[in-house]
Amino acid sequence: MTKSLSGKSAMVTGGSRGIGAATVRRLAADGAAVAFTYAASDRKAAALVAEIEADGREAFAIKADSADPQAVQRAVTETANRFGHLDILVNNAGILLRGHVDEFSLADFDRMLAVNVRAVFVAVQAAVAHMRAGGRIITVGSVTADRSGFAGASVYSMTKAAVAALTRGMARDLGSRGITVNTVQPGPTETDMNPDENVRAVLRQMLALGRLGKDTEIASLVAYLAAPEASFVTGAAFTIDGGYLS
């Protein structure tokens, strides 16, 4: 069968683990050649490339800290040069730093903005120079854009709400070029961002389905938005949260 993304090229930021790695695997399985960035996990990045190549598909990893705008720009340029063009950008890199507003440091505030918001803008700005009509931009946000749920999540929630608003604006900017821009907003998901089993137990009680999401489920929604079937979808925020908001 013809794969839906055959002949397409993709870049995923923060792609060595969690939702990012699941997205890299899914896009590659759907036929795309995939580049991904990572900040520190050399072993995991190399293992993921080897896994995809063992299945006869194309992938490569680029070490780039999303807090560094020049590194993000270089990663996009390297991807476009390697593949000859860029069809799909998935902004997945993100960090979660908790703290009540009266104790949250300005340095942590600035770093969360740099990774969770500025890096998205920088990557999109660099990517659209290499995108043709039919291009796809997808950002992994968070359901906390609509509901923080816990004390100590105010800054993280703010960054994810900013990404949702930025997405709507960029959809207007790029619609005339045939490029779609959307956000996926996961709820609590089984990744190393939620490693504490006691916390997971509390989260399960807040979900209508009584379980956390899987990284592959989030990647499936990303893959849909990257596919030809989603050509009329833009400027949207897709909640995938197991009923967290219900």
Euclidean distance between CA atoms 192 and 91, whole angstroms: 18
- Whether 156 sits among the annotated catalytic residues: the reply is yes
Cβ neighbours for 227, distance < 8 A, ≥ 6 positions apart: 4, 5, 30
Residues 6 or more apart whose CB falls under 8 angstroms from that of 198 comprise none
Active-site residue among 38, 156, 224, 244?
156
Annotated catalytic sites, by residue?
156
